[in-house]
Structure 1
Amino acid sequence: MTLLETERVAVPALRRGTVPRRRRRGTAGYLFVAGYTLLLLAFGVFPTGYSFYLALTNARGQFTGLNQFVKVVQDYRFLPAFGHLLIYLALWLVVLVVLVVLVVLVAVVLRGRISPGTSALLRFLYYLPGALAGVASVLVWLFMLDPDVSPVSWLLESMGLHTFAAVLSPGNLPLVLMLIAFWTGAGGWMVVMYGALNNIPDEVLEAARMDGAGPWRTAWHIQIPMIRQWIVYMTIMAFATGTQLFVEPQLLQTASLGRVSPTWSPNQLAYVYAFQQGDFNGAAAISVCLLVVGLLAAGLLVARSNLFTLDEK
């Protein structure tokens, strides 16, 4: 058989073997995506659509337009609840900037200055607070914030907070909730940032070292810009989590024997509407308002940061 005849026989055979493998890989990809898609539809898209339906109708299912929104906005508890949330988010986003710098610097140290075994142990320890459920985190902080039993009672008393009621006064509550959010979120995001830093090619870091850049200058001018999309993603997720504030103030309200308002956050107000007043339509209207706030903030961040723009290679 000549070389030309061999190629005519071999090439179709190779193609016949390649196509099924490609199809199998494509099928596997669809199967992986299918599970996420089903969960997204079941617990994301359908509940959101149902919330819009409830917000635009009354208890009898009759279309009422924006009447539910007008009703909840005119509630004397609506503006204070959203005002508390905005104060909390302002504090949280300021601390988030510090958190980003702290997370990246610690991740840089873990990646380049510590042995792999020690680095893995420290990442595990950092992640522990984030692994706790929200309820467990609040219970830990209830212990920490009670001057009678707290190991840092001297610090609380030096700030003039001699009783648990003083710590949970309305003016201090946004700061308390922000501290809880920082404690639970820093470790988890540190792990995420560490993974993002590992995606930076070693050649880039080596070139920076050859140009005389030290570790901190490399982190500030090279590593942080190269993980900018992860930082934006972290900010969006932190903002979304902040708008859903419920467990922490609800437990603090119970532990303080009513010193914290049961409608301190919008989610608490929606809970009161749904399960104490039996008004699911009003609760859905509040939820839609929170959704709009979150989408606007996320859209602004995505537009200003080009989050979904592919890097040119």
Structure 2
Amino acid sequence: MTLLEARQVTTPARRSGSAPRRRAAGGRAGYLFVAGYTLFLLAFGVFPTVYAFYLAFTNNLGQFTGLNQFIKVARDYRFLPAFGHILAYLVLWLVVLVVLTVLSAVLLRSRVGPRTSAVLRFLYYIPGALAGVASVLVWLFMLDPDVSPVSWLLTALHLDSFAAVLSPGNLPVIFMLIAFWTGAGGWIVVMYGALNNIPDEVIEAARVDGAGPWRTAWSVQIPMVRQWIVYMAILAFASGTQLFVEPQLLQTASLGRVSPTWSPNQLAYVFAFQQGDFNGAAAISVFLLAVGLIAAGLLVSRSSMFRLDEK
């Protein structure tokens, strides 16, 4: 056998053997890539959740108590008002977020030029770059009729004092405005990206069929980004149930005009750090987890979010 023939025989063997090695190396790189996230997820997600369940079903001596902790916190006179407040806030927050975010993204995608759209998306995103505490401080300034640049609007709404602005009936609306101001910009960018994934041929076909801009948006664009809308609603619902910073800072800034147990998270904070009842606080956190999981399950099942498209 000549040298040339030997090379022709051995070269394919080396190539065929290198493919499994490349796949193995790629697999190891993938595991290494997610290892850091997995460790943080276990340390700051899974372990605290398991520990919260342990506390919720035991007393301060570590003795199993069944559902006693849940019954105790549910009978607390502050429990139902706190969950009622967060329910009113969530209804406002989710409706306004979904409607205005999707509407803004559709308008930016179909009615605004690319350069203007890019500038507007950047401007929408700026409030989201502020930390939660900084956003609340900005809104404290905006809501005080004595120093607010929109004091004329507050006066027109018969809100002549800071105490009137922070009346209990106004708080869900105030917290909704703060949440929308800080969080909507990022979701507008996400929705805009989802709309960009719709093929131009689909939009053109709708126009050929006689559909106007609004008909195209309602019948074509919105249904095709439904999974992204559900995803946004799930994450917004989860973050909304965890409301803490905004009412806590308003409670401090208003010298007690806002209840220190306005939200369930605030109530859990009072149980843990003012009453020293970490088991009761854990029970409240498990209540919130259950509410979030049930809501997410309903949204996913009703929307077929994870349904695989049949080829």
TM-score, normalised via structure 2 length: 0.92
Q: What is residue 56 of structure 2 aligned with on the other side? A: 55
Aligned equivalents of 1:308, 1:36: Cα separation in 2: 23
Answer whether contact 2:300 2:306 (CA < 8 A) is retained. Answer: yes
Q: What is residue 158 of structure 2 aligned with on the other side? A: 160
Aligned equivalents of 1:85, 1:220: Cα separation in 2: 30
Q: What is residue 179 of structure 1 aligned with on the other side? A: 177
Q: What is residue 113 of structure 2 aligned with on the other side? A: 114
Distance verdict in 2 for CA 1:90–1:32, change over 3 Å: same
Q: What is residue 69 of structure 1 aligned with on the other side? A: 70
- Aligned to 2:310, which of 292, 305, 312? 312
1:168-247 pair list within 5 angstroms: 168-247=166-245
Distance verdict in 2 for CA 1:118–1:8, change over 3 Å: farther
Aligned equivalents of 1:219, 1:9: Cα separation in 2: 60
Matched, 1:37 2:38: yes
Q: What is residue 123 of structure 2 aligned with on the other side? A: 125
Alignment RMSD (CA, Å): 2.3
Report the AA paired with residue 89 of structure 1.
Answer: L
Aligned equivalents of 1:99, 1:272: Cα separation in 2: 35
Answer whether contact 1:91 1:178 (CA < 8 A) is retained. Answer: yes
Encode CA deviations 1:8-65: one digit per residue, 9 max, x unaligned. 6554333223222222222222222222222211111110000000001111111111
Answer whether contact 2:243 2:265 (CA < 8 A) is retained. Answer: yes
Encode CA deviations 1:151-189: one digit per residue, 9 max, x unaligned. 111111111100000000011111111111111121010
Q: What is residue 265 of structure 2 aligned with on the other side? A: 267
What number of residue pairs does the alignment pair up? 310
Give the deviation of 1:212 after TM superposition: 4.6
Classify the secondary structure of the residue corresponding to 1:15: helix
Distance verdict in 2 for CA 1:96–1:118, change over 3 Å: closer
Q: What is residue 104 of structure 2 aligned with on the other side? A: 103
Aligned equivalents of 1:224, 1:12: Cα separation in 2: 52
Classify the secondary structure of the residue corresponding to 1:135: helix
Give the deviation of 1:206 after TM superposition: 4.0
Matched, 1:80 2:78: no
Encode CA deviations 1:234-266: one digit per residue, 9 max, x unaligned. 000111111001000001101111000000111
| Structure 1: runs of 5 or more not aligned | none
Answer whether contact 2:230 2:305 (CA < 8 A) is retained. Answer: yes
Matched, 1:46 2:47: yes
Report the AA paired with residue 239 of structure 1.
Answer: F
Report the AA paired with residue 307 of structure 1.
Answer: M
Report the AA paired with residue 194 of structure 2.
Answer: A
Between 1:206-215 and 1:183-192, the stretch displaced more is 206-215
Give the deviation of 1:210 after TM superposition: 4.5
Distance verdict in 2 for CA 1:107–1:15, change over 3 Å: farther
Distance verdict in 2 for CA 1:120–1:104, change over 3 Å: closer
Between 1:19-28 and 1:67-76, the stretch displaced more is 19-28
Report the AA paired with residue 137 of structure 1.
Answer: S
Q: What is residue 18 of structure 1 aligned with on the other side? A: 19
Give the deviation of 1:145 after TM superposition: 0.8
Aligned equivalents of 2:149, 2:231: Cα separation in 1: 35
Answer whether contact 2:121 2:188 (CA < 8 A) is retained. Answer: yes
Identity of aligned residues (%): 76
Aligned equivalents of 1:213, 1:194: Cα separation in 2: 21
| Structure 2: runs of 5 or more not aligned | none
Answer whether contact 1:103 1:189 (CA < 8 A) is retained. Answer: no
Give the deviation of 1:201 after TM superposition: 2.9
Encode CA deviations 1:195-225: one digit per residue, 9 max, x unaligned. 2223223343344444454444333222211
Encode CA deviations 1:272-312: one digit per residue, 9 max, x unaligned. 01111111111000110011011100010011111111223
